[in-house]
Amino acid sequence: MTQLDAASPRLGRRRDHSRDPEILNAALEVLAEEGYDGMTVDMVAARAKAGKATLYRRWPSKGELVIDAVVCMKRGDIDLGNLPDTGTLRGDLVAMIKPRTIEESERKLQVMAGLMSAVARSPELAEAINRAIIEPRAEVNRILLRRAIDRGEIAADIDIETLSMITPSMAAYRTLVLKRPVDREFLITMIDNVVLPAVGLRR
Amino acid sequence: MTQLDAASPRLGRRRDHSRDPEILNAALEVLAEEGYDGMTVDMVAARAKAGKATLYRRWPSKGELVIDAVVCMKRGDIDLGNLPDTGTLRGDLVAMIKPRTIEESERKLQVMAGLMSAVARSPELAEAINRAIIEPRAEVNRILLRRAIDRGEIAADIDIETLSMITPSMAAYRTLVLKRPVDREFLITMIDNVVLPAVGLRR
DNA sequence: CGTATCCGAAACTGTTGAGTTCCGTATATA
DNA sequence: TATATACGGAACTCAACAGTTTCGGATACG
């Protein structure tokens, strides 16, 4: 981006944003560990090995930095265009449980825990969290449930909207409130003891 | 309590704690509105029409005050010894939905949202929250499910532990994350579209 | 009525952290 | 090599807040 910016050649090198990822990632780490109010800009700068002034050259305030960090967290988690297709609902749901996904998901929930109290004061932040953390997980379940309906595996009148939120909410509750790990065993239990029975499979 | 404290008559009137409820209640209100870090001791004092010094005469720190407020929040919500007994699981679950209960429950969740980020730094607080907010709700459901098993309404091998947490987690998620109201309609949907199907009733 | 005690209010202290400024250095361009 | 720019780092300002102290007034008790 640096040398391609022909629009203003006079300014020598323009701000290149090349260190944004490190900084935003450092912000997420501190957020997960300390929460929004426990996080200081100095902590983020130190962890990213950047000067505090550098952060303020890019973001006007701590709040904007945090929102940007949450927004940029989306990627790396789930590829919506390449979901498993095993032929059964259970197969699809279980196939979504990968160590990589679990790890990423737990990290997101930790960040969310840290942001919880700040959310009340910033609708913008609430929106960013919903878009980056909540919605993607529910969307996957919606798609898998819809496919199961299409192939006639489950009844067409089940409540997709509600059922697609069971796993995300139970996982959030488990991390935020119960402080217990969202591991493979937990997720399998949710699938076999709640979701599948609720759509009429098994039992 | 004042005049009954015969153990130390020499001290004139002892500290009587008569204003504790107002103060603790003010603390809960501010917590729900501002969160732990947004709450200042001055705010609590002002709302309780008390002097800040009075608060510090009773509690050694802001943290202790908050923990005490959460611990004393228990009462008023649910009477565990007097649960509805309608003869069916659905009847019992629906009978638990009372405006008073909903209101109290939503308030508790607001307080919890405000405490979320502070919880990470204080295991004592986490324990208090679990005892005062989380556990009571799950306990009710456990009892109702166990009774349904005893009367043969549902299978004996259902996962009580998991199923009793569905409504509390979905409610928490809805308040904390989705910022939508936990009303009667929502709770009925949870019962009819998730819990009952999952235990093998209906569908 | 005098005295002891607790109260609310307000002034005060010390610390922490957001946001700013400054400076010496590294780097890219020419 | 000379110049311009952004960088990391550190020192700074300023406001907010936890916790303390002080004081004048209310209230109970003898």
Q: Give pLDDT tens digits for B28-80.
A: 999 999 999 999 999 999 999 999 999 999 999 999 999 999 999 876 667 88
Residues 6 or more apart whose Cβ sits within 8 Å of residue B179:
A126
Q: Is residue B80 included in any domain, yes or no? A: no
Calculate the angstrom distance between C1' of D28 and CA of B2: 11
pLDDT interval class at A202 (50, 70, 90):
confident
Q: Is residue B104 included in any domain, yes or no? A: yes
Whether the CB of B189 is below 8 Å from some CB of chain A: the reply is yes
Regarding whether B53 and B102 lie in a shared domain, the answer is no
pLDDT interval class at A89 (50, 70, 90):
very high
Residue B1 has pLDDT above 50, yes or no: no
Closest chain A residue by Cα to residue B133: A177
Of A31-45, A53-67, A73-87, A166-180, which range is least confident? A73-87
Q: Is residue A1 included in any domain, yes or no? A: no
Which pLDDT score, from 0 to 100, does residue B12 have? 32
Q: Are the beta carbons of A188 and A178 closer than 8 angstroms? A: no
Regarding whether B115 and B25 lie in a shared domain, the answer is no
Rounded CA-CA distance B60/B201 in Å is 53
DSSP characters over A103-117: HHHHHHHHHHHHHHH
Regarding whether B93 and B176 lie in a shared domain, the answer is yes
Which among A168, A146, A37, A128 is positioned nearest to B174, based on CA atoms? Answer: A168
Which pLDDT score, from 0 to 100, does residue A160 have? 98
Rounded CA-CA distance B41/B58 in Å is 13
Q: Is residue B81 included in any domain, yes or no? A: no
Regarding whether A56 and A97 lie in a shared domain, the answer is no
Q: Are the beta carbons of B140 and B96 closer than 8 angstroms? A: yes
CATH number for B26: 1.10.10.60
Regarding whether A95 and A66 lie in a shared domain, the answer is no
Regarding whether B63 and B101 lie in a shared domain, the answer is no
- Among the partner-chain residues B116, B134, B190, the one whose CB lies closest to the CB of A116 is B116
Contacts of B189 in chain A (CB under 8 A): 159, 162
Which pLDDT score, from 0 to 100, does residue A155 have? 97
Q: What is the DSSP code (8-state) at residue B2?
A: T
Rounded CA-CA distance B147/B153 in Å is 9
Pick the residue with more confidence: A78 or A36?
Answer: A36
Segment B160-194, tens digit of pLDDT: 999 999 999 999 989 888 889 999 999 999 999 99
Q: How far is CA B178 from CA A173, A193, B151, B192, in A?
A: 13, 25, 37, 21
Q: Is residue A29 included in any domain, yes or no? A: yes
Domain boundary among A40, A71, A102: A71
Regarding whether B66 and B34 lie in a shared domain, the answer is yes
Mean of all residue pLDDT scores within chain A: 89
Regarding whether B58 and B99 lie in a shared domain, the answer is no
Pick the residue with more confidence: B113 or B199?
Answer: B199
Contacts of B155 in chain A (CB under 8 A): 203
Q: Are the beta carbons of A194 and B162 closer than 8 angstroms? A: yes
Q: How many CB pairs under 8 A join A and B?
A: 134
pLDDT interval class at A75 (50, 70, 90):
low
Q: Are the beta carbons of B89 and B144 closer than 8 angstroms? A: yes
Pick the residue with more confidence: A67 or A82?
Answer: A67
Regarding whether B171 and B138 lie in a shared domain, the answer is yes
Q: Is residue A173 included in any domain, yes or no? A: yes
Q: Please give the tally of structural domains in chain A.
A: 2
Q: How far is CA A113 from CA A40, B26, B35, B94, in A?
A: 17, 25, 13, 31
Q: Which residues of B41-71 are buried (b: 16+ CB within 10 A; e: fewer)?
A: bebbbebbebeeeebeebbeebeebbbbbbe
Which pLDDT score, from 0 to 100, does residue B203 have? 61
- For residue A35, give the H/E element and its range: helix A20-38
Which pLDDT score, from 0 to 100, does residue A8 have? 34
Q: Is residue A181 included in any domain, yes or no? A: yes
Q: Is residue B64 included in any domain, yes or no? A: yes
Pick the residue with more confidence: B178 or A57?
Answer: A57
Segment A98-107, tens digit of pLDDT: 999 999 999 9
Regarding whether B155 and B58 lie in a shared domain, the answer is no
Of A76-80, A161-165, B131-135, which has the strongest mean pLDDT? A161-165
Residue at B188: amino acid letter: I
Residue B16 has pLDDT above 80, yes or no: no
Residue B2 has pLDDT above 60, yes or no: no
Q: Are the beta carbons of B27 and B66 closer than 8 angstroms? A: yes
Calculate the angstrom distance between C1' of D14 and CA of A87: 64
Domain of B16, in residue numbers: 9-71
Q: Are the beta carbons of B134 and B141 closer than 8 angstroms? A: no
Regarding whether B119 and B49 lie in a shared domain, the answer is no
Regarding whether B20 and B102 lie in a shared domain, the answer is no
Closest nucleotide to the alpha carbon of B63, via C1':
D18
Segment B111-131, tens digit of pLDDT: 998 998 888 888 899 889 989
Of A145-159, B81-95, B124-138, B181-195, which range is least confident? B124-138
Which pLDDT score, from 0 to 100, does residue A203 have? 61
